[in-house]
């Protein structure tokens, strides 16, 4: 089972609660945590003889993303350490681990980006933090309790954006969505299985068509689904292909229907004479025209008026 925890998103995550959740993990369980203030993700996998900890940076620095004209090539996870199940199930170990993760989720440390304003050094909220307290400090501590391990690694062409024109905080692509995709791809048996799952997941667009989703959002989701299908090409499973095909057609019909309704509304210009006010509609106020008219009526050097 894959369980995702985005610490302190809606309410503080209690230390005892996190410790209890980790202690109840069974073999093949995957536990995912987004450590917000450290810009890092932690994936915990419980195997029969060892518990693996994998970490990676979530959002690359804006200074890396913005100058890049194409996509970034990134590998996940960055590090992996294995700890014996016996050590992991130790109450003291779990208590210290839960306390560390919760503290790192809220602490703003020297890993946060800074800038200079009015001669003072202040935090740069538009830049992502360096994940060293998770990818280096935590993994170093865990290495002392266990040992480095080789795990399934994936390389992705990462398409990120930093939109910060006239805004205090820039728009970045969802870190949680990235963490979820990486966790799934490294947990599923093959890339083809992952691609089929993501395609099937996007096919749930059918649910969106039954709601009042904006047309532009439906169109973008449909295009994304079509791109994923084209990547699989002939390898797409028949059932998945048919589901995607049906959903794409339903979405297309809905969008065409909405566009037709919009066009009909534009063509039918309502005639409501009771709402007309000829007196006010024909009274023109040219409050700024006086200087122009006065200048135009001034005589020229030849004694003639300007026309």
> What does the pLDDT average to over 149-164?
81
158 and 36 in a common domain: yes
Q: What is the pLDDT of residue 306?
A: 54
- Residue bearing the bigger pLDDT, 286 or 52: 52
Q: Which domain, by its residues, includes 241?
A: 188-268
pLDDT exceeds 90 at position 299: no
Helix (H) or strand (E) holding 86: helix 85-88
Residue 203 lies in a domain: yes
Percent of the chain exceeding pLDDT 70 equals 86
224 and 141 in a common domain: no
Tell me the pLDDT band of 8, cut-offs 50, 70 and 90: very low
50 and 23 in a common domain: yes
> What does the pLDDT average to over 270-296?
81
21 and 109 in a common domain: yes
Tell me the pLDDT band of 12, cut-offs 50, 70 and 90: low
- Supply the mean pLDDT for the chain: 82
Query: pTM of the prediction?
Result: 0.74
Per-residue CA distances from 141 to 20, 39, 134 (Å): 21, 19, 10
113 and 46 in a common domain: yes
Residue 72 lies in a domain: yes
Per-residue CA distances from 123 to 62, 108, 117, 127, 292 (Å): 15, 9, 10, 9, 53
Residue 294 lies in a domain: no
- Residue bearing the bigger pLDDT, 304 or 201: 201
196 and 118 in a common domain: no
Percent of the chain exceeding pLDDT 90 equals 27
> What does the pLDDT average to over 165-177?
77
129 and 19 in a common domain: yes
Q: What is the pLDDT of residue 63?
A: 75
Number of domains in the chain: 2
195 and 161 in a common domain: no
Angle at 112 between CA 53 and CA 145, to 5 degrees: 25
DSSP 205-240: HHHHHTTT--HHHHHHHHHHHHHHHHHHGGGS-HHH
Residue pair 74/155 in contact (Cβ under 8 Å)? The answer is yes
Q: What is the pLDDT of residue 88?
A: 95
* Location of structure tokens 């006086």: 290
Tell me the pLDDT band of 98, cut-offs 50, 70 and 90: very high
Residue pair 130/59 in contact (Cβ under 8 Å)? The answer is no
Tell me the pLDDT band of 218, cut-offs 50, 70 and 90: confident
> What does the pLDDT average to over 252-271?
84
pLDDT exceeds 90 at position 272: no
167 and 211 in a common domain: no
Closest CA to 221 of 243, 202, 199, 195: 202
């Amino acid at each position: 089972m894959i369980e995702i925890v985005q610490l302190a998103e809606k309410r503080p995550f209690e230390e005892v609660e996190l410790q209890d959740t980790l202690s109840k993990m069974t073999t093949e369980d995957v536990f995912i945590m987004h450590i917000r203030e450290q810009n890092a993700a932690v994936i915990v996998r419980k195997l029969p003889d060892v518990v693996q900890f994998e970490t990676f940076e979530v959002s690359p620095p804006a200074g890396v993303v913005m100058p890049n004209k194409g996509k970034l090539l990134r590998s996940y996870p960055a590090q992996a350490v294995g700890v014996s199940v016996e050590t992991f199930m130790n109450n003291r170990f779990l208590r210290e681990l839960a306390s560390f993760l919760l503290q790192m989720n809220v602490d703003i440390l020297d890993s946060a980006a800074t800038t200079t304003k009015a001669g003072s050094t202040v935090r740069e909220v538009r830049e992502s933090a360096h994940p060293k307290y998770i990818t280096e400090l935590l993994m170093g501590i865990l290495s002392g309790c266990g040992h480095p391990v080789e795990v399934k690694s994936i390389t992705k062409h990462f398409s990120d954006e930093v939109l910060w024109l006239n805004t205090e905080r820039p728009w970045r692509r969802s870190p949680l969505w990235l963490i979820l995709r990486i966790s799934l791809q490294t947990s599923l048996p093959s890339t083809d299985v992952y691609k089929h799952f993501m395609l099937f997941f996007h096919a749930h667009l059918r649910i969106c068509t039954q709601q009042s989703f904006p047309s532009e959002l439906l169109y973008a989701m449909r295009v994304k689904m079509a791109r994923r299908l084209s990547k699989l090409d002939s390898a797409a499973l028949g059932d998945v292909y048919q589901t995607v095909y049906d959903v794409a057609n339903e979405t297309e019909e809905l969008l065409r229907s909405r566009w037709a309704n919009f066009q009909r509304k534009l063509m039918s210009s309502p005639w409501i004479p009771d709402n007309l006010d000829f007196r006010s509609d024909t009274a023109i106020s040219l409050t700024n025209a006086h200087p122009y008219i006065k200048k135009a009526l001034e005589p020229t050097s030849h004694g003639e008026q300007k026309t």
